[in-house]
Structure 1
Amino acid sequence: MTKHRLQGLILLPIAAGLLLSTTGCSAVIDAVHRTHQETFTDRAAAERGWVGVDAPTWLPADAADIHDLATDDESQAVILAHGSSPLPSTCQEADRRGIPFDTASWAPVLDRFPDRVARCGDYEVMPVDGGWLGWFSATEAGQRPTAAAR
């Protein structure tokens, strides 16, 4: 092996590390964990561009700066929507069954989750400072959330 080739092999991991540290590792992390993330300016943009399933109907009318992290098979999702509008009347208070499957950099840091949440169709939703945090967790193989609040 030539000296230049050996140097190239040594420098390759260093260059890759530098590239990852400067290009937003969330894309790499998403690929490894088989997840995808989306951000939308408002509810209308979310309804047009939601990936994988329909945008959840529980998103308040004034929802803005909406973030979504979901598994590629849509079996798990966590959503943060900023806004002060109430949830739709189809959302009903219920016992919490789960918690979000993952934490994204945009998610609020919570010490604990309430025992009661709003059940909005297949989603569990709770108020957070300045908005709403919702999540979906499949309870059987192949299950994906439906958009409509039941």
Structure 2
Amino acid sequence: MTIRAHALLILLPLAAGLVLTTTGCSAIENAVHKTHEERFADRAAAEQGWKGVAAPAWLPDDATDIRNLATNDETNSVILARSTAPLPAGCREADRRSIPFDTASWAPTLDRFPDRVERCGDYEVMRVDGAWLGWFTATEAGQTPAPVAG
């Protein structure tokens, strides 16, 4: 084998890896990190298309541009929903217990989280830049957000 053939055998995998890492392909990143992402135009679309568990009951009726990043086993998720409406009546202010498990490219960057957030069922939720940012963090192995009775 020539030097040129050896160089190609070494450089081709490196070039392929560079292309994959620079394309920003979320599908590859999600597979590696065992996560999935969803995006919905509004609450009705989210309720029909949410994967893994039910769409969170805390999503306001006027919610738009709803995004979700969750682990494949649904033990962690972070959700952003644009909305001017208040949260449903069942949400209550409480001490924050956790922070989102991951920061999606579409999520606002926060230097610090408040000590108090809204507790909406199993989710912690806070207002950020004209949107609601919510997250679920399992407190035991295999736990997923409990469905909320309507």
What TM-score, normalized by structure 2, do the two folds share?
0.91
Q: Tell me the distance in 2 between the aligned counterparts of 1:73 and 1:33.
A: 12
Where do 1:41-56 residues align within 5 Å?
41-56=41-56
Q: Tell me the distance in 1 between the aligned counterparts of 2:57 and 2:83.
A: 15
Q: What secondary structure sits across from 1:144 in the alignment?
A: coil
User: 2:120 aligns to what?
Assistant: 120
Where do 1:1-150 residues align within 5 Å?
1=1, 5-12=5-12, 13-22=14-23, 24-148=24-148
Q: Tell me the distance in 1 between the aligned counterparts of 2:20 and 2:112.
A: 36
Q: What secondary structure sits across from 1:45 in the alignment?
A: helix
Q: Tell me the distance in 1 between the aligned counterparts of 2:52 and 2:25.
A: 22
Question: 1:32 Cα deviation (Å)?
Answer: 1.1
Q: What secondary structure sits across from 1:6 in the alignment?
A: helix
Q: After TM superposition, what 4+ stretches of structure 1 lie above 4 angstroms from structure 2? A: 2-5
Question: 1:21 Cα deviation (Å)?
Answer: 1.8
Q: For the aligned residues, what is the CA RMSD? A: 1.7
Q: Tell me the distance in 2 between the aligned counterparts of 1:85 and 1:149.
A: 21
5+ residue gaps in structure 2? none
Question: 1:20 Cα deviation (Å)?
Answer: 3.8
Q: Tell me the distance in 1 between the aligned counterparts of 2:8 and 2:48.
A: 46
Question: 1:7 Cα deviation (Å)?
Answer: 4.1
User: Deviations 1:28-69 (Å, cap 9, x if unpaired)?
Assistant: 221111111111111111111111101001001110001101
Q: What secondary structure sits across from 2:45 in the alignment?
A: helix
Question: 1:147 Cα deviation (Å)?
Answer: 3.2
Question: 1:149 Cα deviation (Å)?
Answer: 7.0
5+ residue gaps in structure 1? none
Q: What secondary structure sits across from 1:15 in the alignment?
A: helix
Task: Report the count of equivalent residues.
Answer: 149
Q: Tell me the distance in 1 between the aligned counterparts of 2:34 and 2:16.
A: 24
What TM-score, normalized by structure 1, do the two folds share?
0.91
Question: 1:16 Cα deviation (Å)?
Answer: 3.3
The answer as to whether partners of 1:58 and 1:149 remain within 8 angstroms in 2 is no
Q: Tell me the distance in 2 between the aligned counterparts of 1:5 and 1:107.
A: 45
